[in-house]
Amino acid sequence: MRVVLTLAFFALAEPLAAQTYAIHAGALIDPARGTVERDQTLVVAAGHIKSIGPHPEIPAGATQIDLSREWLMPGLMDAHTHLTLTEVVGGSAPFESFYILESTAYRALRGLHNAVGVLAAGFTTVRDVGNAADYAMDDVRRAIDAGWYLGPTIITSGKIIAPFGGQSHGIPPEQGTFWRYEYFDADSADEMRKAVRANLYHGAGVIKLVLDNNRYHYSVDEIRVAVEEAHHAGVPVSVHVYGGEAADNAIEAGVDSIEHGFFLTDAQLKRLRDKGIVLVSTDFPRAHLDIIGTSGGILPPPEVLAPKIIDRLRRAHRLGVHLVFGSDTVMDVEGRSRADLMFDYLAVWREAGVPPAEVLRAMTTEAAKLLRIESERGRIAVGLAADLVAIPADPLADTENLRRIDFVMKDGHIVRPGPTIVRP
């Protein structure tokens, strides 16, 4: 009998109790080593991987899942999302529109919609780095943690911390400082410490700073305050920076990751590598740049920026910088899901010459280390959470195959059943 399990809309009347499964995988990918083992069986119970092998002992009553024609690998991670955000695009409205026109409640609903959607596509963990209104994403995380919805593991940053002005430009003085709906203005060591603590209070799992949005930027000492305060709480610091002196200061201060870094020089990339600082490269494909534009004139036009982004990723990879996948998708396109748009970034990695095995690592094991969850997620290993995806074609041959993920398991719950015959 063919029984297909599916959870419509992933909204749960009752929190699910994870069942016991025996998953038969035709090919099991280990992204850390870029290797494949054939015909392996995983036993999953209570949300975790209990055993792996060609013939492990299968507990009585386990549900059998047949993925013998599929490639099984750890769930994907995106270290740079903004799931509550959609920029008003097409040059029709200023950057600030999304936080003037939309309430925190509405933003939380969009965040939940996108979180559920990206999980179904295979992203079992996301790090959401701000632009989430007044802590909207923290409430999405709580709703998922409470078991009301099946969603990805979400690591939030709370509000973005920046020198005066957030990421806005040219707001008339009589409008006040309304950007503080989405940003902290922190302009001294004390204000920095307070902003970090407020985010930690609301549940931040990463502290996000914006460094080069204006003619002024943070000193090494100011960034060090954030690093010290965040690290004391066991939380990494990620910084939005394109390059120049602001990037030098971040590297010197010992942040954990640089986000974007489009204009980093080889010398800066080498310092990143030597200090173990991760580049979350957010490699916008040309078609996305054409839609979102130049970020208020801060970035060069798409025809100039797109090749720079590819070149920067190629240089970073050649120099051996630690790379983690982060998309920074901030828009909606009719007929395409948020996850579709996230997968578009893989084309840039391909163009920059990063081999598929390394891309998979940047989306799993390397991401888990940056997110400080490597003891729980990011690998298929006994004792780790059962965050799994399967694909009917080999992603080590072509990362485009990741778009075809048809089986998703999150913490031992089936999100998408795949082409499988599930026998009770």
Least Å distance between CB 387 and Zn ion? 23
Least Å distance between CB 348 and Zn ion? 16
* Cβ distance to Zn ion smaller for residue 47 or 94: 94
Near Zn ion by CB under 5 A, which window of 33-41, 286-294, 307-315, 327-335? 327-335
Kind plus residue range of the DSSP H or E element containing 43:
strand 35-45
Paired strand residues for 37: 28
Near Zn ion by CB under 5 A, which window of 7-15, 167-175, 326-334, 381-389? 326-334
- Its sign, for the CA torsion 356, 358, 361, 362, is negative
Tell which phi-psi region holds residue 77, choosing left (phi > 0), alpha (psi between -120 and 50) or beta. Answer: beta
Near Zn ion by CB under 5 A, which window of 137-145, 167-175, 206-214, 328-336? 328-336
# residues contacting Zn ion (CB under 5 A):
1
Least Å distance between CB 415 and Zn ion? 26
Q: How far apart are the first and last CA of the chain?
A: 9
* Cβ distance to Zn ion smaller for residue 330 or 408: 330
**231-232-234 Cα angle (round to 5):** 60
* Cβ distance to Zn ion smaller for residue 148 or 181: 181
Instruction: Tell me, residue by residue from 145 to 164, as one string, x for binding to Zn ion by CB under 5 A and - for no binding.
Output: --------------------
Contacts 24+ apart (CB under 8 A), 213-216: 213/162, 213/163, 213/165, 213/166, 213/167, 213/169, 213/240, 213/298, 214/163, 214/164, 214/165, 214/169, 216/163, 216/164
Q: What is the SS3 assignment for 301? A: coil
Please answer whether residues 345 and 325 qualify as being in contact, where contact means their C-beta atoms are separated by less than 8 angstroms. yes
* Cβ distance to Zn ion smaller for residue 226 or 330: 330
Near Zn ion by CB under 5 A, which window of 229-237, 272-280, 320-328, 403-411? 320-328
Closest residue to Zn ion in the complex (CB): 328
Q: Residues near 329 by Cβ (< 8 Å), separated by ≥ 6? A: 81, 82, 288, 338, 341, 342, 345
Least Å distance between CB 242 and Zn ion? 12
Please answer whether residues 182 and 166 qualify as being in contact, where contact means their C-beta atoms are separated by less than 8 angstroms. yes
* Cβ distance to Zn ion smaller for residue 96 or 328: 328
Told to check if 328 binds Zn ion by CB under 5 A, we report yes
Least Å distance between CB 129 and Zn ion? 6
* Cβ distance to Zn ion smaller for residue 79 or 384: 79
Told to check if 212 binds Zn ion by CB under 5 A, we report no
> Of residues 289-318, which lie at the interface with Zn ion (CB under 5 A)?
none
Supply the angle between the helices 266-275 and 302-319 in degrees, to the nearest 10.
Answer: 40
* Cβ distance to Zn ion smaller for residue 127 or 379: 127
Near Zn ion by CB under 5 A, which window of 34-42, 101-109, 294-302, 323-331? 323-331
> Of residues 214-253, which lie at the interface with Zn ion (CB under 5 A)?
none
Paired strand residues for 153: 125
Told to check if 139 binds Zn ion by CB under 5 A, we report no
Catalog residues that contact Zn ion under the rule CB under 5 A. 328
